[in-house]
Homo-oligomer: A and B are copies of this chain.
Amino acid sequence: MSRPAKFDRDLVLERAMQAFWDQGYCSTSVATLTQTTQLNPGSIYAAFESKQGLFLATLDHYGKRSVEEITQTVNSAETPLEGIRELFRQLATNVKKPKSERSCFLVNTVLDASRHNAMVRERVNHYFDLIESVFRNALASAQNNGELAIDKNPRTLATFIMTTIWGLRVLLVTGAGQDKVESVLDQLFILLD
Contacts and interface: CB of A to CB of B under 8 A. Distances in A.
Interface of A: 23-24, 26-27, 101-103, 107-108, 110-112, 114-116, 121, 124-125, 128, 153, 155-157, 159-160, 162-171, 173-176, 180, 183-184, 186-187, 190-191
B187 A156 contact: yes
Given A156-B186, A159-B184, A160-B184, A170 B110 contact: yes
Nearest to A155: B183
A115 B24 CA distance: 10
B187 A107 contact: no
Given A170-B166, A171-B166, A191-B191, A24 B160 contact: no
A115 B183 contact: no
Contacts of A162: 167, 171
Given A26-B26, A110-B174, A163-B164, 13 more contacts: A23-B116, A101-B115, A121-B175, A124-B174, A156-B186, A157-B187, A159-B176, A159-B180, A160-B184, A163-B168, A166-B169, A187-B191, A191-B191
Nearest to A107: B170
Given A101-B115, A102-B115, A183 B160 contact: yes
Contacts of A174: 110, 121, 124-125, 128
A130 to B, nearest CB: 13
A125 B162 CA distance: 23
A187 B26 CA distance: 36
9 contacts: A101-B115, A107-B111, A108-B112, A159-B171, A163-B167, A163-B171, A164-B167, A165-B167, A190-B191
Contact of A111 (B112, B156, B160, B176): B112
Contact of A173 (B26, B114, B156, B183): B114
